[in-house]
Structure 1
């Protein structure tokens, strides 16, 4: 397994960006002559960056026996959307980054059925936003994700500079592609499979319960789990393994001492 730090110039954002990639060991790759290595894009939350999953979760240890590449980009505090202040993070990560990654690693699959996306908190929102807003990802997972802003209207009023800079005002946000449930209504074909987990003591738990129920009503294939837990890494490091088990990969858990 190799951990590779890449700095590249983003034409979309007009600046250098960084991304971390975990590339599987040659002994775990079934056939290096093809381009079928599956890829998981793993997204950070509001306080994180491209290093967060590496530092906090030990993700490289979890997948060291598995033929899976992991791509960890950064969106700063931009919620993985094209912001109103002109930073088009959605385009940069959903459209540009897969091409950049494939240029560096031509053995990674470009097929939808072998491209997955997951994230926590803001990254959980981002995973659903990118999966529902493109045809690039077949599976999308959210851990403690911001799956709905209903009931959070005061955020837009209390900090209009930030939230307005990201999404615009509440009226322009509602019904737009940046609202997960509104975007889901427009995703009629080739829908991704969805996974979500949220802790019952998490402040986002009511929103997850509501959003998942609505997605199921809309006919999405959703695997939803909840358990005791709050909004912190202790739980996300546990549940990312559930995500790996859920994905259509030959996930091989590392051997543990009894």
Structure 2
């Protein structure tokens, strides 16, 4: 894999932004790393960080480069600060950045595929919320999304982060039923006439977000969405996420597996 520490200017944020990118590379003599390249532009996973992290965290806490190498997929890991992947009421437009500007810029910099069936999103905690929000809002752009210990019910969790949520949403009572509410977005996906993205959700049974995840799981099942759900003993920590991201990569509906 090639590893790029990419810094660039963002029009939607009005400041310089950062992302880590790993790109597939077939090497004949590299020891200890299996590699593969898809024929054409690279299938791409947008891998999102949590509330207290940044774009470096997946590379620092897991072996994502090694896991992705044998699949021949690119992984894009952007920084969005404590934004909850929203256009903030008192701050930058991070939703516009992550959903519109970032994919276009990344494809202009690197040979990344544009086709829906070659684009995926995943993330942990706040990033699990962001990944689901991407796929539920834009089912025409993403073939699959995965949430690891995701903050999937942010209207319920608003009181946990009052300072952040006031800056992001101004009035938290407006979250429910809005484009920031995954339950509302799930309703919209259930009525979607096109091919719906596949969804993956996992959460440790000792995680403080476990009950939120059970509620969202049950809601998706009521709507008959294409959801794969996994739970097992686990907390809100990197040992769990390092294990589960490997499951996500095995689950991804890559064309080579169809």
Does the pair score TM above 0.5?
Answer: yes
State how 1:143-222 maps to structure 2 within 5 Å.
Answer: 143-149=148-154, 151-152=156-157, 154-155=159-160, 159=162, 161-187=163-189, 188-189=191-192, 190-222=195-227
Q: Is the 8 A contact 1:199 1:228 kept in 2?
A: yes
Q: Which residue of the partner structure matches residue 102 of structure 2?
A: 97
> For the residues of structure 2 that align with 1:30 and 1:87, how far apart are their CA atoms?
36
1:168 is displaced (CA, Å) by 2.6
Structure 2 residue 37 is matched with structure 1 residue 29? yes
> For the residues of structure 2 that align with 1:123 and 1:154, how far apart are their CA atoms?
19
- In the alignment, structure 1 segments of 5+ residues that lack a partner are 253-258
Q: Which residue of the partner structure matches residue 16 of structure 2?
A: 16
> For the residues of structure 2 that align with 1:63 and 1:123, how far apart are their CA atoms?
18
Give the TM-score of the pair, scaled to structure 1: 0.90
> For the residues of structure 1 that align with 2:159 and 2:116, how far apart are their CA atoms?
38
Aligned to 1:140, what secondary structure does the other structure show? strand
- Per-residue CA deviations over 1:22-43 (Å, capped at 9, x if unaligned) read 0001352243xx33x2100000
Aligned to 2:151, what secondary structure does the other structure show? coil
Q: Is the 8 A contact 1:63 1:251 kept in 2?
A: no
Q: Is the 8 A contact 1:46 1:76 kept in 2?
A: yes
Aligned to 1:131, what secondary structure does the other structure show? helix
Q: How many residues align?
A: 245
1:81 is displaced (CA, Å) by 1.1
- Per-residue CA deviations over 1:71-117 (Å, capped at 9, x if unaligned) read 000110001111111411111011111111111113x2101111000
CA RMSD of aligned residues (A): 1.7
> For the residues of structure 2 that align with 1:208 and 1:11, how far apart are their CA atoms?
34
> For the residues of structure 1 that align with 2:53 and 2:199, how far apart are their CA atoms?
23
Q: 1:192 to 1:30 in 2, by over 3 A?
A: closer
- In the alignment, structure 2 segments of 5+ residues that lack a partner are 28-35
1:173 is displaced (CA, Å) by 1.2
> For the residues of structure 1 that align with 2:177 and 2:248, how far apart are their CA atoms?
29
Aligned to 1:186, what secondary structure does the other structure show? helix
After TM superposition, what 4+ stretches of structure 1 lie above 6 angstroms from structure 2? none
> For the residues of structure 1 that align with 2:115 and 2:63, how far apart are their CA atoms?
27
Greater shift, 74-83 or 187-196, is seen at 187-196
Q: Is the 8 A contact 1:2 1:24 kept in 2?
A: yes
61, 71, 79: which one aligns with 1:74: 79
Q: Which residue of the partner structure matches residue 122 of structure 1?
A: 126
Give the TM-score of the pair, scaled to structure 2: 0.90
